[in-house]
Structure 1
Amino acid sequence: MNNTVRCPECSNEVKQGYIFSPRRICWSESADSIIYDSGSEVLMGDSIFKIKKIPALRCKKCNLVIFKYQQNKIKK
C-alpha cells in the first residue's frame, strides 16, 4: 500500500510536519497591506505559554503549505 501524499499543484511528494507561530496567523481576501489586523479572521491565535503546533503538508518544489486550522473565537 502506497501512503505517499502528493501536492495538488505539482504532484510532487509532500513532507509531513507541523506549522507553528508564536504570533497569530490571520486570513484576508485582500492583498492590500495593513497596519493593524483588527477585524481580520484569525486562523491561529497568539500563544500565551506554549506554542501550539498544527499538522501540515509542505511541498518544497512549489512552496505550498497545507494545514487545517481551528478557528479561534474572539469576543468583540
Structure 2
Amino acid sequence: MNDTIRCPECNNEVKQGYIFSSRRICWSESADSVFATYGSEELTNDAIFKINKIPAFRCEKCNLVIFKHK
C-alpha cells in the first residue's frame, strides 16, 4: 500500500504538517484589497489564549497548501 500524497497541481510529493495563525484566515472570491475582514467568510478564527493548529499538506515545489477548515 502506497500512502504517498501528491500535489494536485504538479504531482510532487507533499509534506504533512500544520498551519496556524494568531489572526483569522478569510476567503474572498475577489482579488480586490480590503480594509477590514467584516462580512468575509472566516476559514479560521482569531486566537484568544491558545493558537489551534490545522492539519495541512504543503507542496514545496509549487507552494500549494491544502487544508480543511471549520
Do they superpose with TM above 0.5?
yes
Distance in 2 (alpha carbons) for counterparts of 1:30 and 1:3 = 36
Q: How does 1:1-76 map onto structure 2 within 5 Å?
A: 1-70=1-70
Structure 1 residue ranges without an equivalent (≥5): 71-76
Aligned length: 70
Give SS of 1:66's match: strand
Amino acid at match of 2:56: A
1: distance between equivalents of 2:44 and 2:6?
25
The sequence identity of aligned pairs, in percent, is 74
TM-score, normalization by structure 1: 0.90
User: What does the per-residue CA deviation read over 1:27-63, in whole Å, with 9 as the maximum and x for residues that have no partner?
Assistant: 0000000011110000100000000000000001000
CA RMSD of superposed structures (Å) = 0.4
Q: Which runs of 5+ in 2 are unaligned?
A: none
For 2:42 and 2:5, locate their aligned partners in 1 and report how far apart those are by CA, in whole Å: 27
TM-score (norm 2): 0.98
